Amino acid sequence: MNDDVAALDGTDPLARFRAEFTPPSDQIYLAGHSLGPPSAAVLARLDAVARGEWRHTLVAGWHDHDWIGAPLRLGAKIAPLIGAARDEALVADSTSVNLFKLIGALAQSQPERKIVLIERGEFPTDMHIAQGAVSLLGQGRRVVFAPPDGLADHIDDQVALVVASHVHYRDGRIRDMAALQARADAVGADFIWDVSHSVGVVDIDLAAAGARFAVGCGYKYLNGGPGAPAFLYVARARQAGLANPISGWLGAADPFAFADLHAPADGIARFQAGTPSILAMAALEASLDLLAQSTPAQRRAKCLSLQRVFLARLGDAPGLTLLGPHDEAIRGGHLAFSHPRADAVVQALAGAGLIRDHRPPDVLRFAFSPLTLTHAEAARGGELLRATLGASA
Ligand SMILES: *Cc1c(COP(=O)(O)O)cnc(C)c1O
């Protein structure tokens, strides 16, 4: 079995990326869905931008180093990861803020429809931002929660928009994007896809699925750093008709005209708000450049291969139940398990150097980030979990 693992690493087309990532040597890092580790390329770019560009160029850097162009430039680099055209994606703000922009814009574009539909148990910020947006917009708008797995049945002609994750943060299942999008299209409801847990690890083709709106996160599988800028996607045909409710000056047609009245920029640029964080942009951009040296098919195949190795070493571990799909075709980048004493397991794993995350009360999650891990690490992770459970059974 060790030979198998060595062979898998030996033929892994992504093996060369592992040397870019240097987690503490006593750790096996299976929490890349929560915060991706830094690559050498990211650390070098941060240093270059801080010491070189910021220190020497100062205010001229906005133009000399095209800092001002970062949101659109990085958007064009996100585009191939999500199946968008280069002028359909923008990097800015946080996922939460981008959700607010799109929920606000879309709710206002269909004022006769009052419902924002979300499945219960979604990622909290998606539900919370929707609640804040509808209470601000008023006029009878409200958030309606669909029961788990009941989203499709609740999409009807009263619904202005649906918000849903592509990969569910808790159990890791992949939703059928094309089917749900078609259901919404059939009744004239808009749909915002949150691809935070899929971008960089699961193939996403928004255009092929007919999706027109999406948001996503820069610090998970994109390895852009803690609090990395997020992104949003608006299909070209829908850009002109929407108003960004955070109508900041950088979303205006000519920010440097210093006008009193807001006239929105053409295209995706209108979804900017204020000044971008350039150090954070630099880290994310270096990471996107590294990621672009691999293909979605390579990343997906490696991720599933790592999961297989982990599961094989884990075996039938006592007390542990796989929450997510057994079917790899609908399984995202992480494996989620429940365990009646998840707390104790988490403590013991931390002591053993296996880094994972815990969603109280009873869920353990292990992520298999394709660029940052070897099969040997996935195998060791499975063994450590098995040993820990055996010891605490
Ligand atoms: C991680 C994640 C977010 C993060 O939102 P922030 O604004 O960065 O805090 C949002 N939605 C989903 C589905 C996520 O997984």
pLDDT computed for residue 241 by the predictor? 94
| Helix, strand, coil percent content, the chain, rounded in steps of 5 | 45, 15, 40
Residues 75-101: tens digit of each pLDDT: 999 999 999 999 999 999 999 999 999
Backbone φ and ψ for 268, nearest 5 degrees, come out as: -65, -25
For ligand 1, atom 14, name the residue with the nearest CA: 196
Ligand 1 binding pocket includes 334 (Cβ within 6 Å): no
> How far is the centre of ligand 1, averaged over its atoms, from the C-alpha of 99 (Å)?
10
- 356 or 79, greater pLDDT: 79
Q: Please answer whether residues 78 and 231 qualify as being in contact, where contact means their C-beta atoms are separated by less than 8 angstroms.
A: yes
Element of type H or E holding 79:
helix 70-82
Question: What does the alpha-carbon distance between residue 276 and residue 68 come to, in Å, rounded to a whole number?
Answer: 8
One-letter amino acid for residue 207 of the chain: A
> How far is the centre of ligand 1, averaged over its atoms, from the C-alpha of 388 (Å)?
30
376: which DSSP letter?
H
pLDDT computed for residue 38 by the predictor? 96
Q: Which atom of ligand 1 is nearest to the CA of 227?
A: 8
Residues 98-130: tens digit of each pLDDT: 999 999 999 999 999 999 999 999 999 999 999
Residues 140-194: tens digit of each pLDDT: 999 999 999 999 999 999 999 999 999 999 999 999 999 999 999 999 999 999 9
Rounded to two decimals, the pTM is: 0.97
Residue by residue, DSSP assigns 214-252 as EEE-SSSTT---TT---EEEE-HHHHTT---SS--GGGB
Residues 219-247: tens digit of each pLDDT: 999 999 999 999 999 999 999 999 999 99
pLDDT computed for residue 293 by the predictor? 98
Whether 337 is catalytic is no
Omega before residue 361 within 30° of 0, cis: yes
Q: At what angle do helices 375-392 and 2-10 cross, to 10 degrees?
A: 150
Q: Please answer whether residues 358 and 336 qualify as being in contact, where contact means their C-beta atoms are separated by less than 8 angstroms.
A: no
Banded model confidence at residue 392, pLDDT cuts 50, 70, 90: low
Mean pLDDT of 366-389: 96
> How far is the centre of ligand 1, averaged over its atoms, from the C-alpha of 173 (Å)?
16
Mean pLDDT of 26-38: 94
- 318 or 111, greater pLDDT: 111
What are the residues facing 358 on neighbouring strands? 364
One-letter amino acid for residue 243 of the chain: A
List the structure tokens of 335.
Answer: 């494996």
Ligand 1 binding pocket includes 125 (Cβ within 6 Å): yes
Using only the alpha carbons of the chain, give its radius of gyration. Answer: 22
Backbone φ and ψ for 190, nearest 5 degrees, come out as: -85, 165
Name the 3-class secondary structure at 53: helix
Ligand 1 binding pocket includes 198 (Cβ within 6 Å): no
pLDDT computed for residue 359 by the predictor? 86
**Which residues make Cβ contacts (< 8 Å) with residue 240, sequence separation at least 6?**
266, 267
How much of the chain, in percent, has pLDDT values that exceed 90?
91
Question: What does the alpha-carbon distance between residue 389 and residue 216 come to, in Å, rounded to a whole number?
Answer: 34
Mean pLDDT of the chain: 96
Question: What does the alpha-carbon distance between residue 206 and residue 208 come to, in Å, rounded to a whole number?
Answer: 6
Ligand 1 binding pocket includes 196 (Cβ within 6 Å): yes
Whether 51 is catalytic is no
Is pLDDT above 70 for 1? no
Residue linked to tokens 């199946």: 83
Question: What does the alpha-carbon distance between residue 332 and residue 202 come to, in Å, rounded to a whole number?
Answer: 6
